[in-house]
């Protein structure tokens, strides 16, 4: 797309946004909260001069400070290479190893310090405290297994479909040690969704686990591996080996049989690798560290490719200064490592700093809403990180629970979705006991790490607003015509980042065109330009910039629904529904949900002559779950006689969204079939 032809969104999309924006803008501007002097006294960053050091005229050299937090085998020659926009290359010529930085380099000073506290969901199971030394041994042995038993080498891709157990970071770090690119798929995703990612990344090895606990019950996870391998084969791709960790080492906990010659129990194979050590491979800074698939506007998830040097530098710096992690801190991020939050802020950032990071297996509310505070009390967690969805659920199920425990947080993070000021205040008062600072961090899978947040030792907090940009990030809000909306304009626009930054993803795996088109072309000033200033990054979120410089993020401007802080593409759900033979058309719209923020409502129309039935509806529901996973489960499947359509035949999602949210769909007289609207309203009632 070129600059002379700005992509104008259609009217229907615009009106859908307006209602989205209005919901958020209805929050009143809130009063500030101040960080305590006690927090400030110990904070890693209190000098407001940092913003001067990271001003645009110091770009890109200012980012040397980020990379200097790491150990390099070879120092880089060029901080930023902009020769091939927008494929920015950071720390060019440098060599490092991510595993070395997260494990080996801490041994001299912190060998016996806990690196990972693994907390099983079942409360009577003992917590495992894995020291840096143990982590070193386990990562080395598993790396040896990957290299010698699986024949994996630098640049190969491996798919992981692991639950929240210590073996997940161990597997990731073992890959990183070898320069093998890991692609962890959220364990809640179905075997089919896993297969799509195996095929796209061309992984020959799948690493999984037999079972894990969720809501107190053991879940058979191995069965998903069988589906994944079979589905991948249908896609023309063969998986050679499936490595299966055991949730209870030495005991296989899945009813699903092992496939001879393909499936291997890791603990059996590890025996022949005992005591092995694998030298970390010095990787070019630009070598990919991992892929993280995320939903987009098309039905196909995109593999966001993250670099070794830029990514690790970025998550390390932001962990130190925004999460305020000190080596003596016990840090707990309750996200899942299957999402970017877990990669950046459970594994790579905290471990690069030598902190102790908690990995919790299960549901925050299992067996009751006091569980997180018991864990925090027992482990003396002092930094806590979670999503508004989890906070809402904990508040609903146990608003008075935190007061019963002696946990003491100095710092708390919220991430993934806008947080309602009321919920923020409960988090602050009840969970943080009025003492903890809160950072509301806005970022994305693509961005590697935080973009907007207060610096906790410097800024005041404002409930419901993410805060200003972090040092080195320079956002701009454009309207649909590409005009800048100044701070305090009160208008919502598309938030973009003016400058490249080290944590940004390098490309979409095997799809560089989509990378350029989706993130850079809309506001690119000149596609031929080699100047980074002409290539703002478009995040895909609507935002307002307040007069005080704080950003309020309103939500996606595209066909993406943010469910419980995680992205689902409406097209992915719609294509799953279309797999049911009776379905003619499908349309997904977001419905506001008290706990999850948004949930999908799925409208379908059937092929001519077919009658709606519960049986069809439940088969549609099942198709969505088996294609994507329970996370995408529609709030409702509504079989309609016909979709509301424009005269040119476009489905009017705006009208459906209004009906689902019990709002006025507005003027529908211009529809080709206005009479259908009342009939759909009846069905939704």
Chain positions contacting ligand WT7, by CB under 6 A? 294, 339-341, 415-418, 440-445, 466, 539-541, 553, 555-556, 562, 565-567
Q: Give the nearer residue to ligand WT7 in terms of CB position, either 376 or 568.
A: 568
Distance of closest approach, residue 544 Cβ to ligand WT7, in angstroms: 12
Distance of closest approach, residue 140 Cβ to ligand WT7, in angstroms: 31
Distance of closest approach, residue 12 Cβ to ligand WT7, in angstroms: 20
CA distances from 285 to 68, 93, 271 (A): 13, 7, 34
Q: How many CB atoms lie within 10 A of CB 537?
A: 23
CA distances from 34 to 85, 458, 468, 471, 610 (A): 41, 9, 15, 20, 61
Q: Give the nearer residue to ligand WT7 in terms of CB position, either 415 or 599.
A: 415
Residue 382's nearest CA partner among 351, 413, 340 is 413
Q: Give the nearer residue to ligand WT7 in terms of CB position, either 301 or 418.
A: 418
Distance of closest approach, residue 641 Cβ to ligand WT7, in angstroms: 34
Distance of closest approach, residue 479 Cβ to ligand WT7, in angstroms: 18
Q: Give the nearer residue to ligand WT7 in terms of CB position, either 60 or 540.
A: 540
Distance of closest approach, residue 567 Cβ to ligand WT7, in angstroms: 4
Residue nearest to ligand WT7 (CB): 445
Contacts of 414 by beta carbon, 8 Å cutoff, 6+ apart? 386, 387, 388, 391, 424, 427, 438, 439, 440, 441
Q: Give the nearer residue to ligand WT7 in terms of CB position, either 190 or 256.
A: 190
Q: Give the nearer residue to ligand WT7 in terms of CB position, either 182 or 566.
A: 566
Contacts of 510 by beta carbon, 8 Å cutoff, 6+ apart? 200, 303
Distance of closest approach, residue 304 Cβ to ligand WT7, in angstroms: 8
Distance of closest approach, residue 585 Cβ to ligand WT7, in angstroms: 27
CA distances from 466 to 287, 542, 543 (A): 32, 13, 10
Per the document, the length of the chain is: 685
Q: Quote the tokens at residue 619.
A: 């088969």
Q: Quote the tokens at residue 35.
A: 């960080």
Contacts of 387 by beta carbon, 8 Å cutoff, 6+ apart? 334, 335, 414, 415, 416, 417, 564, 565
DSSP of 585-625: EEEEEEEEETTTEEEEEEEEEEPTT----HHHHHHHHHHHH
DSSP of 174-230: HHHHHTPEEEE--TTS-HHHHHHHHHHHT-SEEEEESEEEETTEEEE-HHHHHHHHH
Q: Give the nearer residue to ligand WT7 in terms of CB position, either 233 or 631.
A: 631
Q: Give the nearer residue to ligand WT7 in terms of CB position, either 225 or 466.
A: 466
Q: Where are the alpha helices (DSSP H) in 236-323?
A: 266-270, 309-321
Q: Using CA atoms, how far apart are residues 158 and 205, in angstroms rounded to an integer?
A: 5
Q: Are 269 and 149 in contact (CB under 8 A)?
A: yes
Q: Are 171 and 343 in contact (CB under 8 A)?
A: no
Q: Give the nearer residue to ligand WT7 in terms of CB position, either 206 or 451.
A: 451
Distance of closest approach, residue 553 Cβ to ligand WT7, in angstroms: 4
Q: Give the nearer residue to ligand WT7 in terms of CB position, either 169 or 540.
A: 540
Distance of closest approach, residue 539 Cβ to ligand WT7, in angstroms: 6
Q: Which helix (H) or strand (E) holds 12?
A: helix 11-25
3-state SS class at 239 = coil
HSE-CB for 109 with a 13 A CA cutoff: 7
Q: Using CA atoms, how far apart are residues 675 and 680, in angstroms rounded to an integer?
A: 9
Q: Give the nearer residue to ligand WT7 in terms of CB position, either 335 or 617.
A: 335
Between β-strands 356-360 and 302-307, what pairing exists: parallel, antiparallel or unpaired?
unpaired
Distance of closest approach, residue 440 Cβ to ligand WT7, in angstroms: 5
Distance of closest approach, residue 242 Cβ to ligand WT7, in angstroms: 27
Q: Give the nearer residue to ligand WT7 in terms of CB position, either 449 or 644.
A: 449
């Amino acid at each position: 797309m070129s600059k002379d032809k700005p992509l104008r969104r259609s009217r229907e999309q615009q009106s859908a946004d307006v209602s989205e924006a209005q919901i958020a803008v209805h929050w009143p501007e809130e009063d500030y909260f101040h960080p305590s002097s006690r927090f400030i006294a110990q904070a890693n960053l209190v000098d407001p001069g940092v913003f001067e050091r990271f001003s645009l005229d110091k770009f890109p050299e200012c980012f040397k400070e980020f990379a200097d937090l790491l150990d390099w085998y070879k120092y880089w020659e060029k901080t930023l290479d902009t020769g091939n926009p927008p494929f920015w290359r950071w720390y060019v010529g440098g060599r490092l190893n991510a595993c070395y930085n997260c494990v080996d380099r801490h041994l001299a000073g912190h060998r016996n310090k806990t690196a990972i506290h693994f907390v099983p969901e079942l409360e009577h199971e003992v917590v495992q405290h894995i020291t840096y030394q143990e982590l070193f041994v386990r990562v080395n042995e598993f790396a040896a297994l990957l290299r010698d038993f699986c024949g994996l080498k630098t640049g190969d891709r491996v798919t992981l479909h692991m639950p929240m157990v210590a073996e997940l970071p161990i597997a990731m770090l073992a890959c990183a040690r070898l320069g093998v690119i890991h692609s962890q798929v959220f364990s809640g995703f179905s075997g089919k969704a896993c297969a799509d990612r195996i095929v796209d990344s061309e992984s020959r090895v799948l690493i999984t686990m037999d079972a894990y606990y969720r809501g107190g019950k053991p879940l058979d996870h191995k069965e998903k591996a069988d589906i994944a391998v079979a589905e991948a084969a249908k896609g023309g791709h063969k998986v050679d080996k499936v490595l299966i960790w055991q949730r209870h080492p030495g005991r296989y906990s899945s009813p699903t049989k092992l496939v001879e010659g393909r499936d291997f129990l890791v603990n059996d194979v590890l025996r022949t690798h005992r005591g092995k050590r694998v030298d970390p491979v010095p990787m070019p800074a630009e070598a990919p560290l991992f892929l993280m698939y995320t939903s987009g506007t098309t039905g196909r998830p995109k593999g966001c490719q993250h670099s070794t040097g830029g990514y690790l530098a970025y998550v390390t710096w932001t962990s130190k200064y925004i999460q305020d992690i000190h080596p003596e801190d016990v840090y707990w991020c309750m996200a899942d490592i299957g999402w970017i939050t877990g990669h950046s802020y459970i594994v790579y950032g905290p471990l690069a700093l030598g902190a102790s990071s908690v990995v919790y297996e299960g549901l925050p509310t299992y067996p009751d809403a006091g569980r997180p505070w018991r864990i925090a009390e027992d482990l003396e967690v002092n930094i806590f990180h979670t999503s508004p969805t989890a906070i809402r659920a904990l508040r609903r199920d146990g608003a008075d629970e935190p007061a019963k425990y002696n946990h003491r947080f100095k710092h708390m993070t919220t991430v993934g979705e806008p947080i309602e000021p009321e919920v923020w205040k409960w988090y602050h008062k009840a969970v943080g006991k009025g003492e903890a600072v809160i950072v509301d961090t806005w970022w994305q899978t693509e961005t590697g790490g935080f973009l907007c947040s207060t610096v906790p030792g410097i800024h005041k907090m404002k409930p419901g607003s993410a805060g200003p940009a972090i040092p080195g990030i320079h956002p701009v809000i454009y309207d649909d015509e590409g005009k800048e909306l100044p701070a305090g304009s009160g208008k919502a626009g598309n938030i973009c980042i003016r400058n490249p930054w080290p944590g940004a993803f390098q490309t979409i795996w095997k799809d560089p065109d989509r990378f350029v088109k989706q993130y850079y072309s809309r506001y690119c000033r000149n596609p031929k330009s080699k100047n980074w200033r002409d290539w703002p990054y478009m995040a895909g979120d609507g935002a307002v910039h307040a007069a005080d410089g704080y950003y309020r993020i309103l939500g996606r401007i595209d066909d993406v629904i943010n469910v419980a802080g995680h992205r689902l593409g409406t097209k992915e759900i719609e294509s799953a529904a279309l797999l049911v033979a009776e379905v003619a058309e499908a349309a997904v719209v977001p419905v506001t949900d008290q706990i999850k923020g948004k949930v999908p409502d799925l409208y379908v129309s059937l092929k001519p002559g077919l009658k709606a039935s519960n049986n069809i509806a439940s088969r549609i529901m099942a198709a969505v779950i088996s294609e994507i996973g329970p996370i995408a489960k529609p709030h409702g499947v509504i079989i309609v006689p016909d979709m509301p359509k424009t005269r040119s035949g476009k489905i009017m999602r705006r009208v459906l969204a209004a009906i689902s949210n019990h709002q006025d769909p507005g003027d529908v007289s211009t529809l080709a079939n206005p009479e259908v609207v009342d009939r759909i309203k009846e069905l939704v009632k």
